[in-house]
A and B are shown apart, each in its own frame.
Chain A
Amino acid sequence: MKARGKAWKYGDNVDTDVIIPARYLNVSEPAELARHCMEDLDPGFTRAVVEGKIRGDIVVAGSNFGCGSSREHAPIALKASGISCIIAKSFARIFFRNCINIGLPIIECPEAADGIDAGHLVEVDTDAGLIRDLDAGTEWKSRGYPEFLEGIIRAGGLVEYAKSILNKP
């Protein structure tokens, strides 16, 4: 997977209630959810989503990103907003799992999460295992996923993985 975009940088413990507030959980359409993504934390991000400006941008965050609820609406909103991937120091477990399942690339890399500057152009290449802050000229190595998770990702997400199991002769 290759991605390139502007870094939207956040701190620790960005929880699912700010990623997509509960008042919007009475909808499940991705495009509708995206229009309210991060509304309570960074209205500038939400405005950029609505204006169609998040094309391939990258969220860069501290520890425990996505903590709180299991609501899949959170990674769905981020994916539908145009975000190409999320780099964080660490992820909360249900959120991490949800991202793998829906095919939103997430990378746990504390050094890159710390080192990338907000607003800089970032490039990610998971096959090569590299993250680059193009504006600063800095680079970090990223670990790959365990083989089992690679399998789900390569299949295209959990639904595709399920189809491959169900369709086995």
Chain B
Amino acid sequence: MPSKPMTMAQKLLAAHCGREYVSPGEFVMARVDLVLANDITAPIAVREFRRIGAKRVFDPSRIALVPDHFIPQKDIKSAEQAKAMREFAAEQSIVNYFEVGRSGIEHALLPEKGLVCPGDLVVGADSHTCTYGAIGAFATGVGSTDAAFAMALGKTWFKVPESFKVTLTGKTRPYVTGKDVILHLIGKIGVDGATYKALEFSGPGLDGLSMDSRFAMANMAVEAGAKAGLFPVDEICLRYIAARPLGSRAAGWLASSAAAAGGSHISADTGASYQQSVEIALEDVELLVALPHSPANVRPAREVRGVAINQCILGSCTNGRLEDLRMAAAVLDGCSVHPAVRMIVIPATQDIYLQALKEGLIEKFIRAGAAVSTPTCGPCLGGHMGVLAAGERAVSTTNRNFVGRMGHVESEVYLCGPAVAAASAVLGRIATPEEVVG
């Protein structure tokens, strides 16, 4: 039994440094279960790995390298970066390297493949690594040098964070998803409202939040400055884990955890101490939009109807999953993308793309006049596959809208969920689904 009640963050860190209890503010050296990098962060990580003088990674099965940002290789320099990562994977016998055509956006791909387990400690050279908090893993974004350290040593240093409790009650309205819930929170607390803290979601409202919604929420924890965005491991999570590929780490975890003392459910102890708390009544969450140029500049979509747009992006590690595609396709059904709008749909993984094809969603998008792309981060960071010119505006299901995020410094990005994105693409202006579906 632990000596004092702990939050999920404390529990997960304590477990990974062999301690019964850790206090917020303490520095610990903790063993990591997975280290990840992508095509733009891996080259520097490899360079620093060499400078450390390490010859082999600590465990080739615990590294994941995913080409996704400027992929398929958008220019010569990007191709060289991708090549450097590919060659390192081969040199180190890293099996979890996913080549173009057999890959996806890292934070959609890795949970899908069962590479991350509840209770894991994951560091990734990408800020949206916090996404895996949705499956009860302490997962956090770090820089390339940190990733190199972890690849060499299998552990890294952490300052144990304070936790910020977000209690969810009630049920969401139609078309409202986890994206709206997290935008609601960021709008409330600001882009540094949870800096250095672990957001921890709890409450009966969780019962109505699907895994795709939870991934979107955990994904954007970093946009409030948080170190992690943790969900308890409940039945909804366990059903997701049970559906992971046979032979995957996650499948193995489920088999062994059910027999383990604590069982497979992971949550904070009763009486754990939180530095801050907030309650969100889900029925109060509207369809929201984050206006330029901050994810915290949040307003109800109905208040910004009428803002004309040139582009719509449906995709990313935030909202490129099946439920997002299904919802957008349902809103678009029978309609056409507005003549002045370029709609670009990017399923987040090959499996999602295939399933969307089987369900007829891809056909719906194409017949409506949308472009459908292979999985890539592409336009989210103004890389490729939908960059904006001066004076252009996009609605996007991505996660950041700082100045110049998607292209020219004089372009604008409005962040939203899949329903608002699809409705806006049809009407050529920011719109809500009832205006289209009627």
A residues neighboring B (CB under 8 Å): 13, 15, 17-18, 21-23, 25-28, 40-41, 63-64, 67-73, 75-76, 90, 92-94, 97-98, 101-102, 146, 148-149, 152, 157-159, 161-163, 165-167
Contact = CB atoms under 8 A, between A and B. Distances in A.
B195 A64 contact: yes
Contacts of A72: 41, 44, 125, 143-145
A25 B146 contact: no
B142 A26 contact: no
Contact of B191 (A22, A26, A67): A67
A161 B152 CA distance: 12
Contacts of B52: 159, 162-163, 166
Contact of B143 (A64, A97, A162): A97
21 contacts: A13-B294, A15-B402, A18-B402, A21-B404, A22-B382, A23-B382, A26-B40, A26-B70, A67-B192, A69-B126, A69-B381, A70-B127, A72-B44, A93-B195, A94-B142, A94-B222, A97-B142, A101-B149, A159-B52, A162-B52, A165-B153
B143 A101 contact: yes
A71 B40 contact: yes
Contacts of B149: 101, 158-159, 161-162
A163 to B, nearest CB: 6
A90 B191 CA distance: 12
Interface in B48-82: 48, 51-54, 69-70, 74-75, 77-78, 81
Contacts of B196: 93
Contact of A93 (B77, B125, B225): B225
Contacts of A73: 40, 44
A97 B144 CA distance: 11
Contacts of A67: 191-192, 225
A13 B149 CA distance: 28
Q: Which of A13, A23, A26, A146 has the most CB of B within 10 A?
A: A26
Contact of B47 (A21, A22, A28, A146): A28
Given A70-B126, A167-B53, 9 more contacts: A26-B40, A63-B192, A64-B225, A67-B192, A97-B146, A98-B145, A157-B145, A162-B149, A163-B53
Interface of B: 27, 40-41, 43-44, 47-48, 51-54, 69-70, 74-75, 77-78, 81, 125-127, 129, 141-146, 148-149, 152-153, 157, 159, 191-192, 195-196, 222, 225, 227, 294, 381-383, 400, 402-405, 409
Given A72-B41, A93-B196, A21 B145 contact: no
Contacts of A13: 191-192, 294
Given A26-B81, A64-B195, A18 B403 contact: yes
Contacts of A162: 52, 54, 148-149, 152-153
The 9 closest A-B pairs by CB, nearest first: A72-B143, A26-B77, A148-B27, A98-B143, A22-B381, A70-B127, A70-B141, A64-B192, A101-B145
A23 B157 CA distance: 31
Nearest to A103: B145
A166 B54 CA distance: 8
Given A71-B143, A92-B192, A159 B48 contact: yes
A17 B27 CA distance: 29
B227 A93 contact: yes
A166 B381 CA distance: 36
Contact of B27 (A18, A25, A41, A146): A146
B349 to A, nearest CB: 21
Q: Which of B148, B195, B382 has the most CB of A within 10 A?
A: B195
A93 B159 CA distance: 11
A156 to B, nearest CB: 11
Given A98-B145, A101-B146, A165-B153, A90 B381 contact: no
A164 to B, nearest CB: 10
B151 to A, nearest CB: 10
Contacts of A63: 192
B49 to A, nearest CB: 9
A94 B44 contact: no
Contacts of B153: 162, 165-166
Nearest to B44: A28
Contact of A148 (B51, B142, B157, B195): B157
A25 B40 contact: yes
A6 B310 CA distance: 42
A98 B43 CA distance: 16
A41 B403 CA distance: 9
A98 B69 CA distance: 20
Contacts of A69: 126-127, 381, 400
Contacts of B405: 17, 22
A20 to B, nearest CB: 11
A26 B75 contact: yes
A93 B222 CA distance: 9
Contacts of A15: 400, 402
A152 B145 CA distance: 13
Contacts of B141: 70, 94
Q: Which of A94, A98, A158 has the most CB of B within 10 A?
A: A94
Q: Which of B81, B225, B383 has the most CB of A within 10 A?
A: B225
A71 B402 CA distance: 15
Given A72-B144, A97-B143, A148-B157, A166 B192 contact: no
Contacts of B382: 21-23
B100 to A, nearest CB: 16
B40 A90 contact: no
A47 to B, nearest CB: 16
